[in-house]
Amino acid sequence: MTQPQEDRLNQLIGRMLGDLGGAFSVPTVRMGLRLGLFEALHTHGPLPAEALAQKAGGLAPRYVREWALAQSANGYIDYDAEREVFSLSPEQAMIFVVKDSPVYLAGAFDLVAAMIEGEPKVENSFRTGDGVRWGDSAGCLFCATGAFFRPGYVNNIVQQWLPALEGVTEKLESGAKVADVGCGVGFSTLLMAKAFPKSSFIGYDFHEPSITAAREHAREHKLGDQVRFECRTAKTIGETGFDLVTSFDCLHDMGDPRGCAKQVRRMLKENGTWMIVEPIAGDRAKDNMNPVGRLYYNASTMICVPTSLDQEVGEGLGAQAGQAKLTEVIREGGFTSIKRATEGPFNMVIEARA
């Protein structure tokens, strides 16, 4: 066995220190979000711990001081040691307070907690090779997933992704029929519906609690007449005549993505479009050894692969399937024109037409 080299070891330890600091911050950040501590700093400006505790609804000051020092050490809030006050910068507010900011990360922290909760079931699946049903690994996997993706959707679907597709925005403006397959809690469906009031939308997902939450969100936004949500596996959707089908961050989660592609082909009008939003990835695993690939491979191990392996066929594409593999899957559905319409730091948007 070769001996450890001191400089390489020190480098790795330095990295672990940062990584573990991030991991240790997950529970304190989540509590700070739920208890309204970030929000109170944002609303009331710089505060000493005692006042922060009071502004956040009368919390125990000793806990709040320790929390505030932890967040200061994290760099998630600022600490003025002279005046003993804590504050939130505009950039920190974008991460922890402003829900429609493109970098609002509350959902990401919840997703980490859901992955930890899911450990026993996924660990068992490593031994058996079985899958874990979507939603079974953790109570709030589905709501955390919705919250995790929402900031990206709020800032991209209507502004960037739909306009990148050929002729689709025009159809939506004049009134189109749209299906959002694998819609989860429905944020993507509702965002599109709000932006295109003349179009009608049906969100489909096979997870009943997600569909229940999606229906509630539609009611809250008073979009009940324009949007309907149905509990269905992708392959059993019977409705046809769609101008546009969308699938956001879900094709790779399906057990039979090729079967889904065939079904979407049947659902679409002859000149219809399928927009597939998938995690950005290179075609070779070695292209994904980067911070984004790191997040996705970890989430894929805990969520995407188990979900797919639980279903019929169990293709197990994984979150980092890459465009070439996805194109092959989509082509099997009978699509001949398949291209990357646009991309962002976390997603690629694939346009498929017959």
Ligand X SMILES: C[S@@+](CC[C@H](N)C(=O)[O-])C[C@H]1O[C@@H](n2cnc3c(N)ncnc32)[C@H](O)[C@@H]1O
311 belongs to the binding site for ligand X (CB under 6 A):
yes
Nearer to ligand X, 168 or 303 (CB): 303
134 belongs to the binding site for ligand X (CB under 6 A):
yes
Closest separation between CB of residue 300 and ligand X, Å?
10
284 contacts 322 by C-beta, under 8 angstroms: yes
The sign one gets for the Cα dihedral 298, 304, 307, 312 is: negative
Nearer to ligand X, 253 or 351 (CB): 253
248 belongs to the binding site for ligand X (CB under 6 A):
yes
Distance CA 267, CA 45 (A): 53
Written as one letter, the residue type at 52 is L
Q: Of 321, 312, 333, which Cα lies nearest the Cα of 293?
A: 321
Q: Which range of residues in 100-108, 119-127, 244-252, 267-275 is near ligand X by CB under 6 A? A: 244-252
Q: Of 150, 144, 151, which Cα lies nearest the Cα of 26?
A: 144
Closest separation between CB of residue 253 and ligand X, Å?
4
| One residue of 42, 177, 207, 258 binding ligand X per CB under 6 A | 207
Distance CA 315, CA 331 (A): 16
Q: Which range of residues in 73-81, 100-108, 145-153, 336-344 is near ligand X by CB under 6 A? A: 145-153
| One residue of 67, 161, 201, 206 binding ligand X per CB under 6 A | 206
112 belongs to the binding site for ligand X (CB under 6 A):
no
Written as one letter, the residue type at 23 is A
262 CB-near residues (< 8 Å, 6+ apart)? 235, 332, 333, 334
25 belongs to the binding site for ligand X (CB under 6 A):
no
Name the maximum alpha-carbon separation found in the chain. 69
Residue in this structure with the two tokens 């979407």, named with its chain if needed: 264
What is the total count of residues that contact ligand X (CB under 6 A)? 23
205 belongs to the binding site for ligand X (CB under 6 A):
yes
118 contacts 302 by C-beta, under 8 angstroms: yes
Q: Which range of residues in 66-74, 104-112, 190-198, 202-210 is near ligand X by CB under 6 A? A: 202-210
182 belongs to the binding site for ligand X (CB under 6 A):
yes
Tokens linked to 33: 């979000």
| One residue of 106, 183, 276, 350 binding ligand X per CB under 6 A | 183
| One residue of 49, 157, 179, 254 binding ligand X per CB under 6 A | 254
